[in-house]
Amino acid sequence: MNISVEDKIYAAGLFDGEGCITSTVTNNIIVTVGMTDFEVIKWLASKWPATARVIQPKYVSKLGVPAKQMMIWTLTGRSSRQFLLDIQPYIKTIRRQKALSAALKLLDCLDQQEFRGTQRLTEQQQLERAVLASAVTAK
């Protein structure tokens, strides 16, 4: 699918403001964007196909009003690479730039033969992977 520059810029803004990127214990990358505006999340899923699910947050306001339902768009693992590459030039916040860069490096590491589990990782490789994983989720 050919995605326009305008769509990439818009998606970068959504990710910058409402997105999250994390690394799991197994160094899998998870990219999410969650909002109460379902139309925006559906648009995002139409451009970068991923899982989109509706959740009901459990919290209640001080006035007793329950939180609005949210829709969360989620990409995991290698499928997140293209989205991250598409939005990377347009990310404005330094914290997100660093996390995105670390996530792409971690994905590159996972693609290398020695990170696929066919060979035992050296201590240095384990350390490099741990540093990248922590940089992905750094606040």
pLDDT digits (tens, 9 = 90+) for 76-98: 888 888 999 999 999 998 888 88
The span from the first CA to the last CA of the chain, in angstroms, equals 33
pLDDT of residue 114: 46
pLDDT digits (tens, 9 = 90+) for 38-60: 999 999 999 999 888 998 878 77
pLDDT of residue 37: 92
* Spatial contact of 36 and 68, defined as CB atoms under 8 Å apart: yes
- The percent of residues above 70 in pLDDT, for the chain, comes to 88
The arithmetic mean of pLDDT across residues 46-75, rounded, is: 86
User: What is d(CA 62, CA 123) in angstroms, rounded to the nearest whole number?
Assistant: 50
- Number of neighbouring beta carbons within 10 Å of residue 30: 17
Confidence of residue 63 (pLDDT cuts 50, 70, 90): confident
For 22, the 3-state DSSP assignment is strand
pLDDT digits (tens, 9 = 90+) for 113-139: 444 555 666 777 777 777 777 777 655
Confidence of residue 61 (pLDDT cuts 50, 70, 90): confident
User: What is d(CA 48, CA 62) in angstroms, rounded to the nearest whole number?
Assistant: 37
What residue ranges do the domains of the chain occupy? Answer: 5-136
User: Domain 5-136 adopts which CATH fold?
Assistant: Endonuclease I-creI (3.10.28)
The region of weakest confidence among 2-6, 40-44, 65-69, 118-122 is 118-122
* Spatial contact of 21 and 106, defined as CB atoms under 8 Å apart: no
User: What is d(CA 127, CA 36) in angstroms, rounded to the nearest whole number?
Assistant: 39
pLDDT of residue 7: 96
* Spatial contact of 100 and 84, defined as CB atoms under 8 Å apart: yes
Region class of 27: left (phi > 0), else alpha (psi between -120 and 50), else beta: left
